[in-house]
Chains A and B, each alone.
Chain A
Amino acid sequence: MTAAQVWAAIDEIPDPEIPVISLVDLGVIRDVAVDGNVVRIELTPTFLGCPAVDAMRRALEETVAALGAEAEVAVVHDDSWSTDSITPAGREKLRAAGFAPPAPRAAGKTTLVQLRSKAFRCPYCGSTATRLENIFGPTPCRSIRWCADCRQPFEQFKTI
């Protein structure tokens, strides 16, 4: 078995909370290494409070088992994941599903002024006449915004 085969198989695993995007598109798979019958996978959570990490780990183990190998999944807690790790295909899938993709990570940290700015585009109508409703949303990785043009709330991926 090759690492490429494993990557192809795990590219089919949907994110447990936003199933339109795969774990690979989300950028949370940091490394895949094949050593005989053992596949070592490094997984990094989007947010530390993300309850989906255990579900991701199980899905990886099951997928690798279906390939006839054994998975060793290591969850890595460091600053290596950023919303910039989401692939271009992943960003487009998010937008098509009604989630505004994250803004690029800036040199400095996110500020209130940035969050209140009109730089965020509505995923439904493309308008930038949007405003911040709540920094926090249904999961740690999302905020809630409101589009004044199509008069709909939408979920904005937080830049991290």
Chain B
Amino acid sequence: MSERASLLLTLADDELIVGWRDSEWTGIAPTLEEDVAFSSIAQNEIGHARALYELAAADLGTDADALAFDREPSEYACAPLVELRLLDDWAMTIARRYLYEQADQVRISALVSSSDPELAGLAAKIDREEVYHRLHAELWAERLAGEPRFRSAVEELWPYALGVVAPEQRDELARRVGLPLPSNGLLQGHARGTHTDELEPLWTEMTEVRRSIPGAQW
């Protein structure tokens, strides 16, 4: 697989899986406004995944749905951070949203200046839309800043957040979030390339309908 297709799948898988996890709050968020917010963010993240898959699919001679749903769990390139099932812990959920958006901003901003015009154009579009997700995360991080549960959730997920970005982007992410870089040993098991036990049950549910009639036209 080309370097470009592999990068696109990395981004798309993160966006699909984080969107799927965020959508788990639809109908059960602690307030109606958050129900709307999480549903909308999830829809938009999955929309980003679709656009990224479409670009990868053109290179790989397949289509976006096949990439999203027809691979084995082990073939997904998502980072462990997005796989975690955090229901029904609001502090952990907001900590993930906050850290994911920070990490995503680091890598998407870098892609905006890519020499690949399709990649740079799509990254610019995604970057502009993500502003609203970042504002939402920023609002909650500000509101929960003094809460011990939120602070410990951020600390617990911090090594996972570092697994979202490329190793050379970790310093920048640490500066943004204001947390120290842990030792390499502590990053083990949190980096991309490994999967948590929580991906497979997610995959089973996510692909259940599509797998029920293989090859069907929906």
A: which residues have CB within 8 A of B? Answer: 47-51, 77-80, 109-112, 115, 133-140, 144, 158, 160
Which of A50, A133, A158 interacts with B47 by CB under 8 Å? A50
Centre residue among A47, A49, A109, A111 by max chain B CB count within 10 A: A49
Q: In the complex, what distance in Å separates the CA atom of A47 from the CA atom of B41?
A: 12
B122 within 8 A of A: yes
Find chain B residues with CB under 8 A from A80 CB: 121
Instruction: Give the secondary structure class of A's interface.
Output: loop
Given A134-B36, A135-B37 in contact, is the A160-B129 Cβ separation under 8 Å? yes
B46 within 8 A of A: yes
B: which residues have CB within 8 A of A? Answer: 33, 36-37, 39-41, 43-48, 50-51, 54-55, 118, 121-122, 124-126, 128-129, 131-132, 135-136, 138-139
Query: By the criterion CB–CB under 8 Å, are B126 and A78 in contact?
Result: no
Min CB gap A133→B, angstroms = 7
Query: By the criterion CB–CB under 8 Å, are B136 and A136 in contact?
Result: yes
Which of B33, B37, B43 interacts with A49 by CB under 8 Å? B43
Nearest opposing residue in chain A for B126, CB measure: A48
Q: In the complex, what distance in Å separates the CA atom of A108 from the CA atom of B201?
A: 41
Q: In the complex, what distance in Å separates the CA atom of A144 from the CA atom of B139?
A: 16
Query: By the criterion CB–CB under 8 Å, are B36 and A137 in contact?
Result: yes
Query: By the criterion CB–CB under 8 Å, are A49 and B125 in contact?
Result: no
Query: By the criterion CB–CB under 8 Å, are B124 and A115 in contact?
Result: no
Which of A48, A78, A140 interacts with B40 by CB under 8 Å? A140
Find chain B residues with CB under 8 A from A50 CB: 47
Q: In the complex, what distance in Å separates the CA atom of A51 from the CA atom of B40?
A: 12
Query: By the criterion CB–CB under 8 Å, are A78 and B121 in contact?
Result: yes
Q: In the complex, what distance in Å separates the CA atom of A158 from the CA atom of B45?
A: 17
Q: In the complex, what distance in Å separates the CA atom of A77 from the CA atom of B67?
A: 18
Nearest opposing residue in chain B for A82, CB measure: B128
Find chain A residues with CB under 8 A from B36 CB: 134, 136-138, 144
Min CB gap B34→A, angstroms = 9
Find chain B residues with CB under 8 A from A139 CB: 40
| A and B contact pairs by CB, cutoff 8 A, 19 listed | A47-B47, A48-B44, A48-B50, A48-B129, A49-B40, A49-B43, A49-B44, A49-B46, A77-B51, A77-B121, A79-B124, A79-B128, A110-B135, A112-B135, A135-B136, A136-B40, A136-B136, A138-B36, A158-B132
Min CB gap B80→A, angstroms = 24
Find chain B residues with CB under 8 A from A110 CB: 131-132, 135
Q: In the complex, what distance in Å separates the CA atom of A99 from the CA atom of B66?
A: 38
Find chain A residues with CB under 8 A from B121 CB: 77-80
Q: In the complex, what distance in Å separates the CA atom of A48 from the CA atom of B44?
A: 7
10 additional contacts, CB 8 Å, given A77-B51, A77-B122, A78-B125?
A48-B48, A49-B43, A49-B44, A51-B43, A77-B121, A79-B125, A136-B40, A140-B40, A144-B33, A160-B128
Q: In the complex, what distance in Å separates the CA atom of A144 from the CA atom of B45?
A: 20
Min CB gap B93→A, angstroms = 16
